[in-house]
Structure 1
Amino acid sequence: MLALANYSMKGPMQANIAVVLLSALSVWIAPIGILAGGIVALVTLRVNAVEGAKTLIWAMIVQIALTVMLSGSYMPAVIAIMEYLLPVFIMAVVLRETNSLAQALHLGMLMIGVGLVGFHLIVGDTSAWWLELFNSQIKPLLDTAGVDYQSDFVPKMAQMVTMLLSVFALILWFSILMLGRWWQSQLYYPGQFQTDFHQLMLPKSTATIAVVIAITGLIVGQEIRLLYDISGVVIAALMFQGLSVAHYMVKEREASNAWLVGLYVLLFLLPQMMLILATIGLLDSWMNFRGRGETQ
C-alpha cells in the first residue's frame, strides 16, 4: 500500500491515474474504495485542498460513470462517494488546516449529526422506514433464496440500523483519513503519525456535551430515536480517544504490542469494548492520562 501512495505522490497525473483505477475497481470490489479515499486524503494533506479536490472529482466521475453503465442507476455511486470519498476529503481539509486529528474527528461527528437530523426529519419513524424497506426489498430475495431467518428479530434490528450505519460511517471515514495521514508520515515525516495519534483528545466541552447526549440517548432512546442514534456516534468518537490512550500507554511503558493486538481482537469480538474504550476516552478528557496540559 505504501508503494501505491508513493506512486501517487510523484505528480498530479500519477495521483489521478491511481485514484481512477482504484475508484473503478471499487465498483466491483467495494473495500478498494478505502484506498481511493486514502489517496484523496493524502493528496489533500501533502499538496493542497485544490489538488485534493481535483483528485476527488476524478474519482467521483469514474464511480458515477461506471455505476450507471453497469446498473443503470447512479444511486450506488452516490452511496460509494459518501462512504469513501467526499466526507474524507472534507475532513482532510480540516486536518491540513488545523493539524489536529481531534478537530477532523469532531467535524466527522458534526457531519453525521446533521445527516441524522435531516434523515429523521424526512423519514419520521426511522424504525418503520427500515422495516418497510426490508419487507419490500430484502424479504422477497431471502424468501426466494430459501434463507432461514428469525422474523421476530427483524423489528428489533430495524430500531438499530440508523445508529449502526452512523457509527460505521464515522469509523470508516476517520480510519480512511488516518490511512492518508499514515501514508504522509511514512513518506515524508517518519514517526509523525504516532505522535499525532497519541495527541488525539476531544475538547472538554465536546466531551461534556457528548456524555450528556450519550447518557440521555441510552436512557430514553426508545422514545427519542434521534438521541439514541447520536449517542452511538458519540461513543464511536470517544472510542478513538480511548484507543489513543491505549497506544500511548503501551509506548510509554515500553510494553509489548501484543497488548494492542489483543485489544483490537477484543474490540472486534466484543461490541462492549467500544463502550469501555469510550469511557476511557471520556475520562481522559478530564483526567488527562497522557499528562498533557492542553487539548489538541
Structure 2
Amino acid sequence: MRALAEFIMKGRLQAVAVAGLGVGTLMFAWVGVAAAALVMLRKGLSEGAYVVFWALLPAIAVAAIGADVGPLTMLLGAAASAAVLRSTQQWAYAMLAAVGAGLLTALILMHMASDYLASILAMVQPMLERMQVSASGRLPEIGNGDIAAVIGVSTVLWSTLAVMLARWWQSILYNPGGFRQEMWQFRLPPAITVALVALMLLLSNVGGDYRFWGVMCMLPIVISGIALVHGAAGRLGLGRAWLIVFYVALLLLGPLWAGLILMAIVDSWIDIRRRLPNRSQP
C-alpha cells in the first residue's frame, strides 16, 4: 500500500492513471477514489479537482454503459468529503459531507432515475420472493425508495472508507501514526449528533419511500462508536486481541450495534476516553 501511495504522489499522470483505472474497474473503484482523495488531501483542492475530473470520465462511462452509478456517486461523495476534511481538518464535518452526498444521491435517483431504480428492483425481485417464502412473517414490500436508500447508504459508507484510506496513506507518507491518533480521538460534537439523530427520526417518521433513509444519518455515529472502542482500547493499553473480540461480537450479536450507537451518542456529550486512565505505551 505504501508503494502505491508513493506512486500516486509522484505526479499528475500517475495519480490520474490510478484514479481512472481504479474507477473504471468496478472491483477496485474504491482504490481509484482513494487515490483522488489522497491528492486532494495532500496537494489541495485544485490539484484534487484535476484528478477527480479525469476520474469522472470512466465513472460516467460505467454509469452509462454498465448501468452502475456506484463508482460515480462514490467518487463525488469522497471528493466532497476530502475537500471538507482538507479545509476544516475535522472528521465530523467530512462525514457530514458524505451524508449529504448520500442523501442527495438518493433524492436525485428517486426523482430523476426511477427507471434505473425499477431495473435494479426487477433484478433483485426473485431473491426477495425467495426470502419472503422462507420468512416466518410477512416482509415489507420493497420499492424504488428503498433501492435509492441502499445506494445512498453505499455512497456514504464507501465515500467515507475511501477518504479514510486516503488519510491513512497520507499518514504513512508524511505523518506516521497521525491517522491512528485522529481515529482514537474522533468524536462527534453534540450539535452534530443531535442533528443526525433528529434527521434520522424525521425520515423514519415520514415513512413510505423514505423509511430507510435515516440509516445514512446513523453511519457517522456508528463510525464514532467504533473510534471510541479503538480509542478506549489504546488508552487502556489493551492489545489487538480485544479489538478482534469486539469485531467478532459485532458480527454475531445484533443488539451490540444499538449499544455502540448509544455509547457514541453519550460520548459526544461527556468524552468517555478523557475519563479513562491512560495506560498506553509512550
Fold shared by both chains (TM-score > 0.5): yes
Please name the residue that 1:80 is paired with. Answer: 71
The residue number in structure 2 matching 1:236 is 219
Say whether residues 1:167 and 2:153 are aligned partners.
yes
Contact 1:164 / 1:232 at 8 angstroms: preserved in 2?
no
Match of 1:158 among 120, 126, 142: 142
Report how many aligned residue pairs link the two structures. 270
CA separation of 1:111 and 1:17: change in aligned 2, threshold 3 A: closer
Q: State yes or no: 1:33 paired with 2:29.
A: yes
| In structure 1, C-alpha distance between the alignment counterparts of 2:202 and 2:194, rounded to whole Å | 12
Change in CA separation of 1:225 and 1:203 when aligned onto 2, cut-off 3 Å: farther
Alpha-carbon distance, 1:106 to partner = 1.4
Unmatched 5+ residue regions in structure 2? 276-282
Deviations 1:237-292 (A, max 9, x none): 10011111111100000001122222223334445433322211111111111239
Does 2:130 align with 1:149? Answer: yes
Letter in 2 for 1:212: A
Q: By how many angstroms is 1:133 displaced?
A: 4.6
- Write the letter of the residue equivalent to 1:20: G
Cα deviations by residue, 1:89-132 (Å, 9 ceiling, x for unpaired): 11111111111111101111223234445555668xx9xx96x6
Give CA deviations for 1:192-244 in whole Å, capped at 9, x if unaligned: 101211232222112123333444555x46x4553x33421222210011111
Please give the root-mean-square deviation of Cα atoms over the aligned residues, in Å: 3.2
| TM-score normalised by the chain length of structure 1 | 0.78
Q: CA separation in 2, counterparts of 1:161 and 1:136?
A: 11
Contact 1:109 1:233 in 2 (8 A): yes
1:176 aligned onto 2:162: yes
Separation in 2, partners of 1:155, 1:169: 25
Partners of 1:254 and 1:200 in 2: CA distance: 18
Query: 1:288/1:135 Cα in 2 relative to 1: closer, same or farther (>3 Å)?
Result: closer
How far apart, CA to CA, are the structure 1 residues paired with 2:129 and 2:202? 36
Q: 3-state SS of the aligned residue for 2:154? A: helix
Structure 1 residue 87, shift from structure 2 partner: 1.1
Is 1:284 matched up with 2:267? yes
CA–CA distance in structure 1, aligned partners of residues 11 and 82 of structure 2: 19
**Runs of 5+ in structure 1 lacking a partner?**
none
Q: Give the secondary structure class of the aligned counterpart of 2:274.
A: coil
Alpha-carbon distance change, 181 to 240 in structure 1, aligned in 2, over 3 angstroms: same
Equivalent of 1:206, from 167, 189, 192?
192
The question of whether the paired residues in 2 share the 8 Å contact of 1:15 and 1:43 is answered with yes
2:280 is aligned to none
Q: Is residue 2:87 matched to residue 1:97?
A: yes
Indicate the percent of aligned positions where both proteins have the same amino acid. Answer: 24
Conservation of the 8 A alpha-carbon contact between 2:76 and 2:101? no
Q: Equivalent residues in 2 for 1:123-134 (5 A)?
A: 133=119
1:159-184 per-residue CA deviation (whole Å, 9 max, x = no partner) reads 65444443332221111110000000
Contact map agreement 2:70 2:151 (CA 8 A) in 1: no
1:50 alignment counterpart: 46
Give the TM-score of the pair, scaled to structure 2.
Answer: 0.81
Task: Tell me, yes or no, if the aligned pair for 2:77 and 2:156 is still in contact at 8 Å.
Answer: no
Mean Cα deviation higher: 160-169 or 4-13: 160-169
AA partner of residue 280 (structure 1)? M
Q: Call closer, same or farther: CA 1:116–1:290 in 2, change over 3 Å.
A: same
Change (3 A) 1:183 1:171: same
Alpha carbons of structure 1 residues 157 and 3: separation in structure 2 relative to 1, 3 Å: farther
